Structure 1
Amino acid sequence: MDHQHDNMEGDSEIHTNVSYNDGEVRVQLEDVYGAVPELEKNHEKEMHLIIVSNDLESFIHLHPKRVENGVYAASKELKGGSYQAFVDIVPKVQNYVAQPNDLQVGEGDQVTPSASLSASKDRTQDIDGKTVTLETDGLSTNDTTTLDFYLHGEEPEPYLGALGHVVILDEDAETFIHVHPTSDYKTTFETHFAHPGLYKVWAEFKYKDAGVLTFPFILQVDE
Structure 2
Amino acid sequence: MNTGLRITVFAAALAATFGTAYGVGSGVGEISPEPKPAAAHGEHEPAAHGGHEGSHASAAPPGGLQISDGGYTLDLRTPALETGRSTTLRFAVVQDATGRALTAYQQEHTKELHLIIASRDLTTYRHLHPIRAADGTWSTPVSLPEAGAYRVFADFTPRGGDGLTLGADLTASRTYRPAPLPAPGSTATVDGYKVSLKGRPAPAKSSRLTFTVTRNGKPVHDLQPYLGAYGHLVALRSGDLAYLHVHPNGEPGDGTTRPGPDISFTAAAPSPGTYRLFLDFKHAGEVHTAAFTVRTDGAVKQPEATTTASADREDSAHTH
What amino acid is aligned across from residue 23 of structure 1 in structure 2? T
Give the TM-score, by structure 2 length.
0.62
Residues 1:134 and 2:134 aligned together? no
Distance in 1 separating the partners of 2:179 and 2:160: 35
The 5 A counterparts of 1:193-204 are: 193-204=269-280
Task: State the partner residue of 1:216.
Answer: 291
Task: Within 5 Å, give how 1:79-118 maps onto structure 2.
Answer: 79-81=145-147, 82-95=149-162, 97-106=164-173, 116-117=180-181
Letter in 2 for 1:200: R
The one of the two structures with greater contact order (alpha-carbon pairs below 8 A, sep at least 6) is: 2
TM-score using structure 1 length: 0.87
Structure 2 residue identity aligned to 1:70: G
Distance 2:72 2:297 in 1: 32
Contact 1:23 1:78 in 2 (8 A): no
Give 5+ residue unaligned stretches, structure 2. 10-29, 31-50, 52-60, 62-68, 252-256, 299-320
Q: 2:187·2:195 contact (CA, 8 Å) conserved in 1?
A: yes
List per-residue Cα deviations over 1:56-108 (Å, max 9, x = no partner). 01111100010242211112222352211111111124445424311112357
The percentage of counterpart residues that share the same residue type is: 27
2:116 match: 50
Aligned residue pairs total 217
The structure in which a higher percent of residues are strand is 1
Q: Which residue of 2 aligns with 1:69?
A: 135
| Residue pair 1:54, 1:115 contacting (<8 A) in 2 also | no
List gaps (5 residues or longer) in structure 1: none
Contact 1:14 1:96 in 2 (8 A): no
User: Deviation of residue 47 (structure 1)?
Assistant: 1.1
Q: Does 1:24 align with 2:88?
A: yes
In terms of Rg, which structure is larger? 2
Residue 215 of structure 1 aligns with an amino acid whose one-letter code is A
Q: Contact between 1:119 and 1:198, CA under 8 Å: does it hold in 2?
A: no
